[in-house]
Every structure is written in structure tokens, then in C-alpha cells.
Amino acid sequence: MKFALAQQNYHIGNFEANVQKIIAGIEQAKEQGADLVIFSELCICGYPPRDFLEFNDFINQCYAAIDIIREHADTIGVLVGAPARNTNPLGKDLFNAVFLLHEKEIKGEVHKTLLPTYDVFDEGRYFEPAYSWNVLEFRGKKLAVTICEDIWNMGSNPLYRITPMEELIQFGPDVIINLSASPYNYAQDIVRNSIVKAHTLKYNLPMLYCNAVGSQTEIVFDGGSLVYDDAGNKMGELKYFE
């Protein structure tokens, strides 16, 4: 299977421009013969959307954008990040989600488990953590799809009680995919590479990591999307700040 990573710069609430960029990324991936194109966390609306998530019209526009994009996900699979409504009356009204689009349909949905509430992050204010875990099946392969913070719960003193990959590995996935909006700091590239490499070695799976690029007020996203094989070798790294 051939994958494409679409490292792009999104504007919060600029649905028209974000959709145009995503469609352009899909078409470029098609031209390159990709089976599946991967975008970044909350790419539909931009990250971090913060209190815009409190407005129902904002969420409606997210779903409308997905409806436009899925018409272009005909012969190719597309993974995009967007808010998703929580139909359970308990908990927060939204999930931080990834949608699998293919054959012009929504084929699957994954919810973020680990919601950071430190430093520049305040996701616990808006989102409900995942209730359950499942791989996404695509063209005979099982995709372990995670979202940003979901891969950072490693080490001897983890911040969270649940590690999503420990749940997903039980389904026998073929690859780990992470959609991220990971802000820059002076050592982030080193830490990010070590986290991705550690996953490939621990779970003996290749991993694709797609990060956002650009900035939203004081938060800067540095790109540096990654591909590692199942033996912990870095096979590709996209440019930083481009």
C-alpha cells in the first residue's frame, strides 16, 4: 500500500480555504499513485479551535466540509481530523476525531483518547475521551490510527492511565498512523523522532506521523512529518516550517 502525507497550514474557521487545501492534497496524492492520504489533527477546522467549538454552527460547517471532501475520496482513501459529535448524553458534546473517507463515504471514525490540559493545550475543556478503541480496515489492511497526544504516554511515569496503542495492538494492526498538531519547541524534533521510533520498536510496526505546519497566534507548528519502518529506521522526514 502506498501512503501520502499531506503536511499543510490551516486557518482556524476558514473552512473554504482549508477544504481547498485538503482537496488539492488529495488530488496530488492521486497523481502520485497513493492508496491513502493522511492529513493532520483537526485539519478541517484548524487547531486549536478553542471556544469556536461551543458554537453549533461551527460544528455544522465541519461536517459540511467533510461532505465536500468525501466526494473527492473516490478511488483513494483519506484520513482527516475534525470534531465529531458525541451522541452519548454523558460527558462532553464532542470528540477530537479522525474520519476515514473512501468511495465518497465515511468508512470509519476514531476518537482521541488522551486529551492534554497542560501548557498551551486545553482539550479536556471541549472534548470527551474515547470510549472504545478499534482499528480502521482499508484495502485488506488494519490501520491503528492515533491522534497526537495518543502516542506520548510512554516512559516509566506516564501521565495517563490508558495507552491507546496497548488497546489497538490487540487487533493485530499492520501500521501505526498518527495525525498530529504538535507545536514547536527547541527540542521537539528530537523528542518526536524518539517517540515515533520507540513505537516502531515496541510494537514491531511501521509508523506514519503527519504534523501540521504554520502558526495560530502564539502557537507555531513546525511540520517535520515522519515515516519509520518496523525496525526503528527513519525512512523519511518532511521539511520543517514548510
Query: What digits encode the pLDDT tens for the residues 113-122?
Result: 999 999 999 9
Give every CB contact of residue 232 below 8 A, 6+ residues apart in sequence: 197, 200, 201
CA–CA separation, 151 and 154 (whole Å): 7
What are the respective helix, strand and coil percentages of the chain, to the nearest 5? 30, 30, 45
Catalytic residue among 41, 123, 128, 149: 41
For the chain, 242 residues long, the average pLDDT of each consecutive 10-residue run is 98 98 98 98 98 98 98 98 96 98 98 96 97 97 98 94 97 98 94 97 98 95 98 98 96
Burial class for 113, CB neighbours closer than 10 Å (0-12, 13-18, 19+): buried
The domain limits of the chain are 3-237
Sequence-ordered alpha helix ranges (H) in 149-236: 164-168, 188-203
pLDDT tens digits for range 133-180: 999 999 999 999 999 999 999 988 999 999 999 999 999 999 999 999
Active site residue 148: yes
Active site residue 41: yes
Catalytic residue among 43, 62, 148, 210: 148
Q: Tell me what pLDDT residue 89 has.
A: 92
Backbone phi, then psi, for 191, in 5-degree steps? -65, -40
Catalytic residue among 62, 112, 123, 210: 112
Q: State which fold the 3-237 domain adopts.
A: Nitrilase/N-carbamoyl-D-aminoacid amidohydrolase (3.60.110)
Using alpha carbons, list the distances in angstroms from residue 178 to 37, 111, 218. 12, 12, 24
Q: Tell me what pLDDT residue 117 has.
A: 96
